[in-house]
Amino acid sequence: MKSSVSGCSVEEAMRLLGGRWRLLLVSYLLDGPKRFGELRKDVPGISQRMLTLDLRALEDAGLVRRTVFAEVPVKVEYQLTEDGLRMEPVVAVMKAFGLWLKSRA
């Protein structure tokens, strides 16, 4: 990830969440743990590579936890951490803003 230029808190948040998919992934993970395939179905426009990269970035930021279960075949789940759950109000505001935008059209 690029480093912050201005040091502004909004820029810092956008640096992490400014991609097309990351906040959307967080919104789906607010419903509870999901497997990779479930997230692919929830977000059909995302490529497998981009989903992997965005989940890794969210994991590196401490917002998502990746759990691997010792099963055959291997089961992997993604869920929000305690820090990730703090994104709920952000998702709610973005949802309300999106609904407002759609109503204007």
Predicted local distance difference test score (pLDDT) of residue 2:
60
pLDDT recorded at residue 77: 97
Predicted TM-score (pTM) of the model is: 0.88
3 state SS of 26: helix
Cα 102 to chain centroid distance, Å, stands at 22
Q: Which two tokens stand for residue 8?
A: 């502004």
What is d(CA 40, CA 78) in angstroms, rounded to the nearest whole number? 12
pLDDT of res. 12 = 86
Cα–Cα dist 88/105, whole Å: 26
Q: What is the pLDDT along the chain (105 residues), one digit of tens a residue?
A: 566 667 788 888 888 888 889 999 999 999 999 999 999 999 999 999 999 999 999 999 999 999 999 888 889 999 999 999 999 999 999 999 999 999 997
Find, among 13, 33, 35, 2, the residue nearest to 91 by Cα. Answer: 13
- The domains of the chain, with CATH numbers, are 9-104 (1.10.10.10)
Q: Which two tokens stand for residue 40?
A: 């692919």
